[in-house]
Amino acid sequence: MEQIGIELEKAVELILHHGVEQIKTHIIPVMKANGAILAEDIYAPINNPPFDRSPLDGFALRAGDSSHASKKHPVTLRVIDTVYAGGFCDKRLNAGEAVRIMTGAPIPFGADCVIRQEDTGFTPGKSEYTVEIYRELKVHQNYCFLGEDIKKGQMLLKAGTKITYIEQAILSSVGIMQIVVCQKPRVALFVTGDEVVPPGSQLKNGKIYDSNLTLLYNRLKEFQMEPVVAEYLPDQPEIIAEIIKKVSESVDIIITTGGVSVGAKDIFHEVYPMLQLERIFWKVKLKPGTPAMFSMYQGIPMLNLSGNPFAAITTFELLVRPLLAKLSGDKGLNTVRIKGVLAQPFTKTSGARRFLRGNLIEGKVHIPPTEQHASGILASMAGCNCLVDIKAGTNPLDMGNEVEVILLDV
């Protein structure tokens, strides 16, 4: 049953209820996984480091051999080998012996500590030489254990983790080259309106340059999602219905702007019957963007947002973003609400629930002058980082009033 004029929370609930099935996954190279969402828990296949190693340049020895050693009374050990990072000493170290060792090299069998080069005296270069030990060491002093960083079998990364350069490096450090990640939803984006032309076109009488295609296309890019289709459509229901039909075969979500209100060219009311489609809801109790519409077409969620740019932004963030969060597995896209204090007054009464643009800095919410909030006004959005949620039935707001905001951060 279609619902008309519902609360925002109900609208989001309906969208998530209908719009999300199993998240699709695929395998990709770790090197290309930046920004991807891990779909499976990952356990360490090996220890890192894979062997006991030296944290510095010096000599590996047995701590017992260094007892009572000092600069005045050094202990002299026979140097039996040299081991570099990347190399391996296959000799076993016995009492009275040392192995010259570099940072990152495996500690030879038989040695239990490493002395820094600066605490020794030696003359390198000879094939057979000795080293003077100037201080006493404890067992496992200057000694990095195998698995110090990562232990084989330990939980390394949890499903749902967003892969950044750090996670990529962690995976690399245990030799993992491929991971299973959530597939990014394939988005189709359409802006409708006979008046809308792309920048670069001639601005004939009655035409305006597009804001919404650029707006939502790039917002999707900020969400690390590539719209697979992004097109301008005329206010012709047959054409729109045809294109939606076609595109529905190869996308996971359809987003449109324009044509959802009650005017003569609000063509989605004609598109729906052409697609033999029922609205799940139409009209959400919020300003701007009230006439937002939602349906499922061939199993694909379709959100039709109103065309005013600020309405498109607001309803995209409030209605579409939670769905994209679920479809992509990216919890970072879930709505974050925090409290702030108005830094400027807002002089209008809000009969209906209203969202304002704002810029939250250190707890203070800066808003443009009251007349700069209309849904057709985009420029005052520059620098804004949040939407201010003003409950229905709120009187004009004063500077210093507490408000709740929804962050636009990604």
- The reply to whether 287 sits near ligand AMP by the rule CB under 6 A is no
Distance of alpha carbon 45 from alpha carbon 175, whole angstroms: 8
With CB under 6 A as the contact rule, the residue among 65, 112, 167, 210 that binds ligand AMP is: 210
Give, for 282, the enclosing helix (H) or strand (E).
strand 281-284
Q: Does 261 bind ligand AMP (CB under 6 A)?
A: yes
Q: Which stretch binds ligand AMP (CB under 6 A): 9-17, 38-46, 77-85, 253-261?
A: 253-261
d(CA 78, CA 91): 13
Nearer to ligand AMP, 159 or 197 (CB): 197
Contacting ligand AMP (CB under 6 A), which of 191, 324, 381, 397?
191
What tokens appear for 260 in the block?
A: 């959802």
Q: Binding segment for ligand AMP among 127-135, 182-190, 300-308, 338-346 (CB under 6 A)?
A: 300-308
* Residue choice 48, 212, 304, 350 for contact with ligand AMP (CB under 6 A): 212
Tell me the angle at which helices 321-328 and 8-19 cross, rounded to the nearest 10 degrees.
Answer: 30
Nearest CA to 24 among 251, 273, 339?
251
Cα 305-309-310 angle, rounded to 5 deg: 95
Q: Closest approach of Cβ 217 to ligand AMP, in Å?
A: 11
Determine the 3-state secondary structure of 165 from DSSP.
helix
Check residue 195 for interaction with ligand AMP (CB under 6 A).
yes
- Please say whether the beta carbons of 402 and 339 come within 8 A: yes
| Residues from 314 through 333 that contact ligand AMP (CB under 6 A) | none
Q: What are the beta bridge partners of residue 197?
A: 209
**In a 3-state reduction of DSSP, which class is residue 315?**
helix
Tokens of 350: 């809000």
Report the nearest approach of Mg ion to the CB of residue 258 (Å): 4
Indicate which of Mg ion, ligand AMP, none lies near residue 314 (CB less than 5 to 8 Å, by partner kind). Answer: none
Q: Which residues are paired to 120 by β-bridges?
A: 133
Span 176-235, contacts to Mg ion by CB under 5 A: 193
| Total residues belonging to the chain | 410
When asked if residue 309 is in the footprint of ligand AMP (CB under 6 A), the reply is yes
Beta bridge partners of 121: 132
Give the interface segment with ligand AMP, choosing from 46-54, 117-125, 203-211, 345-353 (CB under 6 A): 203-211
Those residues with Cβ within 8 angstroms of residue 90's Cβ, 6 or more apart along the chain or in another chain: none
Contact 99, 57 (CB under 8 A): no
Measured from the CB of residue 267, what is the shortest distance to ligand AMP in angstroms? 9
Which one, of 262, 261, 251, 231, lies nearest residue 301 by Cα? 251
Q: Among 161, 306, 314, 315, indicate the residue that binds ligand AMP (CB under 6 A).
A: 306
Q: Residue 196 burial by CB count (10 A; 0-12/13-18/19+): exposed, middle or buried?
A: buried
Strands 75-83 and 178-182: what pairing? unpaired
Applying CB under 6 A, the span of 109-117, 128-136, 303-311, 350-358 interacting with ligand AMP comes to 303-311
Among positions 295-354, residues that touch Mg ion (CB under 5 A) are 307
In terms of CB distance, is 48 or 211 closer to ligand AMP? 211
Amino acid at 333: L
Q: Which does 322 bind (CB under 5 to 8 A by kind): Mg ion, ligand AMP, none?
A: none
| Binding window for ligand AMP (CB under 6 A); candidates: 19-27, 220-228, 257-265, 274-282 | 257-265
- Is 259 a residue that touches ligand AMP (CB under 6 A)? yes
Q: Which residues bind ligand AMP (CB under 6 A)?
A: 191, 193, 195-196, 208, 210-213, 257-259, 261, 263, 266, 306-309, 376
Which residues contact Mg ion (rule: CB under 5 A)? 193, 258-259, 307
